[in-house]
Every structure is written in structure tokens, then in C-alpha cells.
């Protein structure tokens, strides 16, 4: 059974804790912003799962690497620092896997979006946009998941070159609009909307609860055991799907 340290004990940390035992894991540490982080704290764990904040993750990273335990990072907002983070992990001979969203359903949705974007790319009559809805307590907007979806589209639809998030402004033909809404207790709804004069197509993913995200993080913690280096959730999925690099 894998022994887990949870860094950050908010809603996601509690969701991981709730399903750990049924996924052959046990949570032995539940750390918050007031916890002292030293290598000794993590001595008896097999992996660290981080769901904190951008600033907290970047600040804590040296201490986490010093502990020499694999790190699963579900915190978002820091990916602009990815190259710096990678360098620190490699210099310490550490192991880390990260994702903007650890839900396996969402990750497979990303791949479906990629495939659909390629199909519609040659046909300029079809316009495309992204929407996302989350609970009112969510801090970032657009969500990290929506930005990942948008970047999949930008990478595969050449006529879309930039993201536009101002829904009060009509998007230019080269702009991919992301519309964000904060509503009640919605866990997460993401949609890709494709429209022409003759057709309307919508791909949508709805999260029913947080446990899908939690299960993905636990599966990643198992997968990264005995590895070194920096991995994305795509590396994990490629192996699961039998896709060779």
C-alpha cells in the first residue's frame, strides 16, 4: 500500500483522503500552510501530492526535492515557470509528475478535442470557441483546464492564433474565445463549441464530483514510483494507452 503525504488539505486534499484506502493508498500526513516542511517530515512516505497554490508550490519545491520523494503536482498557475522547475528537479535527481487536471476523464477529453480540432481545421466555415463553468469559490479564470483545451485547439487549428477572454468584445476571426462562468457548486463543466451556417457541434465534459480528480492523482503517485525526471500526465496516459514516444 502506497503511503501518501498530502500538501494542502483543502477540498482536493480531503477528496484524495476520502478515497485513498479504496485505491491501495494510505494518507499518513496532512500538511497545511502552517506545517513546517523538512526532509524528516516526509521520511516515511512514498509520495507527496501537492494541491496548494502557485506561490506555495514554488516556495516549497526546494524542501520537497530535498525530501527525495516523488511529487505529484495538481496545483495550477505555475506552468510559466515550468523550465525553472524542471531544472531544479533534474539537478536534484528528483521525480515529479504534473497536470492542470488529474481527472482521467478530462485528460481523455483533451485528446478528443485534439482529434476533433484536426478534423475541422481544414474547413474555415466552422468557427470554434470554449466555455467553462465552475463553483463560485474558484479563484482562477479561465480555469487551467479551459486554457489547456484552448491550447490544444490553437495547436491544431491554424486560423486560430490567440486566446480572447473578454466576452463583452466580439472576437476577431483569429481569436479563440473562452467564456467563463462562476455558478453555485458546479465542480467543473468544459465545452468546445463548433458552429457553421449549417451545423452546430458541442463536445462537453461534466465533472460529477472531485473524486475523479483525486483518483487520477493517486494513480499518478503509483505510476511515478521508481522513476526520476519530470513527467506530464500525457506521459502517464501514453504508457497506459500503449503509445510509444
Catalytic positions, please?
134, 138
Question: How distant is the alpha carbon of residue 211 from its chain centre?
Answer: 14
Q: Is the dihedral of CA 95, 114, 241, 207 positive or negative?
A: positive
Pairing of strands 189-195, 127-134: antiparallel
Place of cell 516542511: 37
- Of 245, 178, 203, the C-alpha closest to 109 is 203
Place of cell 466555455: 131
**Where in 58-196 does DSSP place strands (E)?**
71-73, 95-98, 127-134, 162-164, 175-182, 189-195
Cα separation, 173 vs 177, whole angstroms = 10
Residues whose CB is less than 8 angstroms from the CB of residue 42 and which lie 6 or more positions away in sequence, other chains included: 5, 29, 48, 64, 67, 69
Give the cell for residue 57. Answer: 508550490
User: Residue 24: phi, psi to the nearest 5?
Assistant: 60, 35
Residues whose CB is less than 8 angstroms from the CB of residue 35 and which lie 6 or more positions away in sequence, other chains included: 41
Place of cell 478515497: 19
Amino acid at each position: 500500500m502506497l503511503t501518501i503525504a498530502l500538501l494542502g488539505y483543502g477540498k482536493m486534499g480531503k477528496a484524495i483522503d476520502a478515497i485513498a484506502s479504496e485505491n491501495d493508498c494510505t494518507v499518513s500526513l496532512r500538511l497545511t500552510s502552517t506545517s513546517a516542511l523538512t526532509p524528516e517530515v516526509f521520511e516515511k512516505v512514498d509520495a507527496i501530492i501537492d494541491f496548494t497554490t502557485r506561490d506555495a508550490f514554488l516556495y516549497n519545491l526546494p524542501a520537497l526535492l530535498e525530501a527525495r520523494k516523488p511529487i505529484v503536482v495538481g496545483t495550477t498557475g505555475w506552468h510559466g515557470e515550468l523550465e525553472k522547475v524542471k531544472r531544479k528537479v533534474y539537478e536534484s535527481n528528483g521525480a515529479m509528475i504534473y497536470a492542470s487536471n488529474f481527472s482521467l476523464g478530462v485528460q481523455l477529453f483533451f485528446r478528443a478535442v485534439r482529434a476533433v480540432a484536426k478534423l475541422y481545421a481544414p474547413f474555415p466555415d466552422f468557427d470554434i470557441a470554449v466555455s467553462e463553468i465552475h463553483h463560485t469559490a474558484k479563484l482562477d479564470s479561465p480555469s487551467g483546464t479551459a486554457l489547456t483545451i484552448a491550447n490544444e485547439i490553437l495547436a491544431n487549428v491554424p486560423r486560430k492564433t490567440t486566446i480572447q477572454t473578454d466576452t463583452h468584445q466580439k472576437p476577431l476571426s483569429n481569436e479563440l474565445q473562452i467564456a467563463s462562468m462562476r455558478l453555485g457548486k458546479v465542480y467543473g463543466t468544459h465545452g468546445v463549441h463548433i458552429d457553421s451556417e449549417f451545423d452546430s457541434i458541442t463536445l462537453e465534459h461534466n465533472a460529477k464530483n472531485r473524486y475523479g480528480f483525486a483518483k487520477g492523482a493517486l494513480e499518478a503517485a503509483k505510476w511515478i514510483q521508481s522513476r526520476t525526471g519530470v513527467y506530464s500526465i500525457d506521459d502517464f496516459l501514453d504508457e497506459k494507452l500503449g503509445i510509444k514516444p
